[in-house]
Structure 1
Amino acid sequence: MDTKGIEQMLSLLRTTAAQASGKTAESSAAESGAPDFAEVLRGSIDKVNETQQSANQMAEKLAAGDTSQNLHEVMIALQTASVSFQEMVQVRNKLVTAYQDMMNMQV
């Protein structure tokens, strides 16, 4: 299981919490070595895209009659791509909800 993305997200959340409590974002980000949120998000989207493209290529090769493609491996790759896409959609939904909650806050 790839925990690098989870660790990066936790680091980002800690940075945001520190910022909300009054600490400067630069000092807490420098202390934790936190990556930029946009970089983490872009990397996750790129990884999902690569997974989907790889699965589609495998399926196309199988449909074309390529004997090097195993049906089981193709089905697993397609299912993995589907689950990763669904996960990305759920993350997007949570981000949109958080954004809407923040916009509805009274200052």
Structure 2
Amino acid sequence: MKIEAVNQNLLLGNYTLQENINTEKNNNFITFLKDALSEVDALQKEASFSASKLVLGEEEYLHNTMLAYEKANLALQLTIEVRNKLVEAYQEIMRIQM
């Protein structure tokens, strides 16, 4: 019975394909994080702008400004919690012994 050698081009091609898939997933995750941070930043700027309008007398209702600040605050708290979970997961992975 003859055993044939494994074609190395197949192995390298499969590795390259897997590497491209991993790179694409990383880019999607990075894009998702950037978009989320941009939204949080936009909410912070909106709250600041609303407060400026209130101080200048251009905004009649205090509750609109308070809602904008609460939205921004909740978004920031969520972002901090996500960061904490990511750091915690990273630390857990680093503790794994091989």
Stretches of structure 1 that go unaligned for 5 or more consecutive residues are: 1-23
SS of 2:96's partner is coil
Q: 1:57 aligns with which of 49, 53, 57?
A: 49
Question: Which residue identity does 1:95 align to in structure 2?
Answer: L
SS of 2:73's partner is helix
**Which residue pairs with 2:64 in the alignment?**
73
CA RMSD of aligned residues (A): 2.4
> Highest CA radius of gyration, 1 or 2?
2
Q: Distance in 2 between matches of 1:96 and 1:28?
A: 21
- Over residues 69-102 of structure 1, what are the superposed CA-to-partner deviations in whole Å (9 max), with x where a residue is unaligned? 4211111111110011000000000000001111
**Which residue pairs with 1:3 in the alignment?**
none
Q: Distance in 1 between matches of 2:77 and 2:38?
A: 14
TM-score normalised by L of structure 1: 0.65
More helix by share: 2
Structure 1 consecutive aligned stretches of length 4 or more whose deviation exceeds 3 Å: 24-30
Q: 2:73 aligns with which of 77, 82, 85?
A: 82
Stretches of structure 2 that go unaligned for 5 or more consecutive residues are: 1-17
Q: 2:85 aligns with which of 86, 94, 98?
A: 94
Q: 1:44 to 1:76 in 2, by over 3 A?
A: same
